[in-house]
Structure 1
Amino acid sequence: MTEPATPLTGLRFSKGHGTGNDFVLVADPDGTRELTPEQTAVLCDRHRGIGGDGLIRAVRSRHLPEGVALLADHPGAEWFMDYSNADGSRSEMCGNGVRVFVHFLVAQGLVALEPGEALTIGTRAGVKVVSRTPGGYRVDMGPWDFIFPDQAAGRGMDSLVDAAGLSVERPALSISMGNPHTVVALADLAELAGTQLTATPVVTPLPPHGTNVEFAVPAEPLVMDDVGHISMRVHERGVGETLSCGTGACAAAAAIRFWAGSDAPDDWAVAVPGGVVGVRFFTGPDGREHVELSGPAEIVADGVVAEGLV
C-alpha cells in the first residue's frame, strides 16, 4: 500500500524567476521530501497556492536514480535540478529554471559561486554547466537537434500548428533542446499579439512526448551589429503561456537561424514578454553545435507553507 504523502505544512520554500518565468523552489539536500504531482500543482496554483510556472526541488544527485546515473560520468554534478511543470508533470529541463536553480543554491548557502566561476549540475536532460556573470548566469544548454530530422532537412519544416487567432494552420519546425519545442514564424508583431494562447495549440504531427510551442517574429532587419533579433511568445507543455521560456528561446533562435541560412549570426537576442535573454551558438567539446543561454535570475521571496495546504 502506498504511504500517504507528507503534508505540506511547515515546508520552507523560495519564489524566484528568470525574465518572468517563475518557480517555487524547495531545498531537499538529502532527498527526503519528494512532492507528489498533486502537491506540486497545489503549490504552483496562482489562486490557492504560492503560484509558479513550475516547481524546482534542489536535491543532491546521489539521492535520485537519474542523478546517480549522471555521477558515473560527471562526479562534479553534486546537485540535481528536480523540475516539474505547474500541473505536476515532470519535465526534462527548463532554461530559465536552471539559472534560478543555481541562484537559489547560492542564496541558500548550499554552494559558493563567484562571477566567472562555473557549476556543473544534473538535470533529466543531462548535465549542464552554469557560469555566473556580473548580471546573472549563462548556461551551456548542450547540443540542439531536429525532432523529425528527415522532414526538417528536406523541407525546412516538419509540422503544422493551429492556434486560436491565426486564420490558417502554420508550418513549423520541431527542435529538441533536451525537451521538445515546435517553432512557428509569424509575419509581424501584430500577428504575434493576436495569437491566443489560452488554449493549447494543435501540432500535427505531435512529438512523442508532447511539445512546447513558440511563436516567433524575426526583426526587420533581422541582424543588427552582428546579433540576430527575435520576438517570441510561448505556450509551455503542462503550464500554458508563460512570460519566458529559456529552452524555447534557444529553440526559436535555432529555427530562425536555420531558416535564415549560412550567413545567419551565432549571437541572438530573444525578446519575450518578461524581458530579453541571450542565445549563442558555438562548437562544444564534443564537436557538436551547442547553445548557450544567458540572462538574469532573481529570488523574490522566502516563506513557510501555512497549515491547511494539502
Structure 2
Amino acid sequence: MSTIPFTKGHGTGNDFVIVADPDGDLDLTGEQIAALTDRRFGIGADGLLRVVRSAAIDAGAHTPDAEWFMDYRNADGSVAEMCGNGVRVFVKYLLSAGLATLAPGETLRIGTRAGTKSVTLSDNGFEVDLGLWRPEAGDVLVRGRGLAVARPGLGIDVGNPHVVVALSSSDELEQLDLTVQPVLDPLPPAGANVEFVVPAEPLVHDGVGAIRMRVFERGVGETLSCGTGVAASALAVRHWAGPTAPDRWTVDVAGGRLGVRVVRTDAGERVLLSGPASLVFSGEVALV
C-alpha cells in the first residue's frame, strides 16, 4: 500500500484535499478520490485539487499559457470544469510550496478545464478572473425540499453550469432541506450547481449590491460556499435588477463573504471573484 503527501485547504469553508503531482505521475481513480474526500473514513473535503504542470496534463485539457493546471475533482470522484474557491486555494498552495510567486500588481495564470484563469492579490485574499459569462436561454423549473411550489431558475455559465433561484425571504432560504438534491426540469446536459438566493435589504448600499446564498453542488451536495456559484448568483440578481444594477456585489454564504465585480470589455462582460484562501494542515495518507 503506497502513501502520498497531501495538504488540506479551504476557501470560505469550501474545502479541498490538495495533492502535488507536478509531473503527472499519479493516476487517481474516482474511487480513490471519493475515499480521500470521505468525511468519516478519509481526510474529508468537498473536492480534490491535483497540482500538475500543464505540460503533463492530457491533451484535451492542455493550457500552454499557464505553467500549472488545477485538476479539480468533485467529492464523488467526478471531473469538474472549474472551481472559484478551489483556484484561490490552489494559488495559496503554490505560493506556500514555493512553486510560484505573486507580487502586488502581478498576475498568476492557472490552467483549468474551463480555460486559463488569471489570479491577482486582493484586499481580502485573491481575485480570480472567471472570464466572460452568459445567461442561458429559457427558464429551468427547480423543485427543492422545503419549497411549497417549484420555482423558475436562471441558467448562468461561468465556465461551469449553474441554475440560480430567487427566494422571497430569509425564512424561505433557511427552511430549504439541501440534504436532498434539487430536481431540475429540464435537466441541463451536464447537470448544474443550484443556487438559492435572497437579496439584502436594501439590495444596494453605497453602490454595492448584496445577497445571501445557499448552494447544492454537483457531485458533492450542500457546501458552505461555492465560488463560481457566488459569481453566478450575483450575476443572476444583477440581470433581474436591470440596467441600473451595480457592477460590484458582496455575497454572504455559510462559510463567509465573497466579492464579485463585473468588468465591461469590447468582447463582453467579465466576472471576477475575490475572497480568502487558507491552508489548514498537511500529512500523508494511504492510497487504497
**Which residue is 1:255 aligned to?**
236
Distance change in 2, residues 1:267/1:303 (3 Å): same
Answer 1 or 2: which has greater strand percent: 2
**Which residue is 1:222 aligned to?**
203
CA separation in 2, counterparts of 1:84 and 1:115?
A: 30
Distance change in 2, residues 1:176/1:68 (3 Å): closer
* 2:256 equivalent among 268, 275, 278: 275
Distance change in 2, residues 1:259/1:112 (3 Å): same
CA separation in 1, counterparts of 2:79 and 2:37?
A: 13
**Length, aligned pairs only:** 288
Q: Does 1:46 align with 2:39?
A: yes
Runs of at least 4 residues of structure 1 off by over 3 A?
66-69
TM-score, normalised relative to structure 2: 0.97
Measure how far apart 1:243 and its partner are: 0.2
**Which residue is 1:100 aligned to?**
89
**Which residue is 2:49 aligned to?**
56
CA separation in 1, counterparts of 2:233 and 2:126?
A: 20
Q: Does 1:297 align with 2:277?
A: yes
Measure how far apart 1:66 and its partner are: 4.2
Conserved? CA contact 2:37–2:43, under 8 Å: yes
Q: Does 1:87 align with 2:67?
A: no
Measure how far apart 1:221 and its partner are: 1.0
Q: CA RMSD in A?
A: 1.3
* 2:192 equivalent among 211, 227, 234: 211
- 1:24-43 equivalences under 5 Å are 24-43=17-36
Measure how far apart 1:216 and its partner are: 0.2
Conserved? CA contact 1:161–1:202, under 8 Å: yes
CA separation in 1, counterparts of 2:251 and 2:22?
A: 34
Measure how far apart 1:206 and its partner are: 1.1
Measure how far apart 1:135 and its partner are: 3.3
CA separation in 2, counterparts of 1:164 and 1:271?
A: 22
CA separation in 1, counterparts of 2:134 and 2:59?
A: 22
CA separation in 2, counterparts of 1:214 and 1:35?
A: 30
* 2:165 equivalent among 156, 177, 184: 184
Classify the secondary structure of the residue corresponding to 1:106. Answer: helix
Conserved? CA contact 1:66–1:124, under 8 Å: no
Q: Deviations over 1:61-103 (max 9, x none)?
A: 00112477421xx2xx000000000000000000000000010
CA separation in 1, counterparts of 2:50 and 2:60?
A: 13
Distance change in 2, residues 1:266/1:169 (3 Å): same
Conserved? CA contact 1:62–1:68, under 8 Å: no
> What letter matches 1:27 in structure 2?
A
> What letter matches 2:95 in structure 1?
V
Conserved? CA contact 2:124–2:274, under 8 Å: no
Conserved? CA contact 1:172–1:182, under 8 Å: yes
TM-score, normalised relative to structure 1: 0.90
> What letter matches 1:283 in structure 2?
R
CA separation in 2, counterparts of 1:119 and 1:200?
A: 35
Q: Deviations over 1:1-46 (max 9, x none)?
A: xxxxxx5x32000000000000000111000012110000000000
Conserved? CA contact 1:119–1:130, under 8 Å: yes
> What letter matches 1:222 in structure 2?
L
Distance change in 2, residues 1:14/1:27 (3 Å): same
Measure how far apart 1:112 and its partner are: 1.5
CA separation in 2, counterparts of 1:59 and 1:70?
A: 11
CA separation in 2, counterparts of 1:272 and 1:244?
A: 6
Classify the secondary structure of the residue corresponding to 1:248. Answer: helix
Q: Deviations over 1:150-188 (max 9, x none)?
A: x2xxxxxx1110000000001110111110000000011
> What letter matches 1:260 in structure 2?
A
Segments of structure 1 that go 5 or more residues without pairing to the other structure are 1-6, 152-157
